[in-house]
Amino acid sequence: MAGRHQLEFEVQDALGFIAILQRGRAEKLLSGFNLNYSQFTLLFLLGNDLDKEWTVSGLASHMEMKKSGISKIVSELMDRRWLSHTVCADDRRRKVVRITRTGIKKRQSTLDAMQPFIASTFAGWSASDLQAFLVHLARLKEWLDRHRDVP
Summarize pLDDT for 105-143 with one digit per residue, the tens. Answer: 999 999 999 999 899 999 999 999 999 999 999 999 999
- Mapping DSSP to helix (H, G, I), strand (E, B) and coil, where does residue 80 land? coil
Q: Model's pTM, two decimal places?
A: 0.84
In the chain, the amino acid numbered 15 is L
Q: Is the pLDDT of residue 1 over 80?
A: no
Which three-class secondary structure state does DSSP give residue 75? helix
Contact assessment for residue 106 and residue 43, using Cβ atoms and an 8 Å cutoff = yes
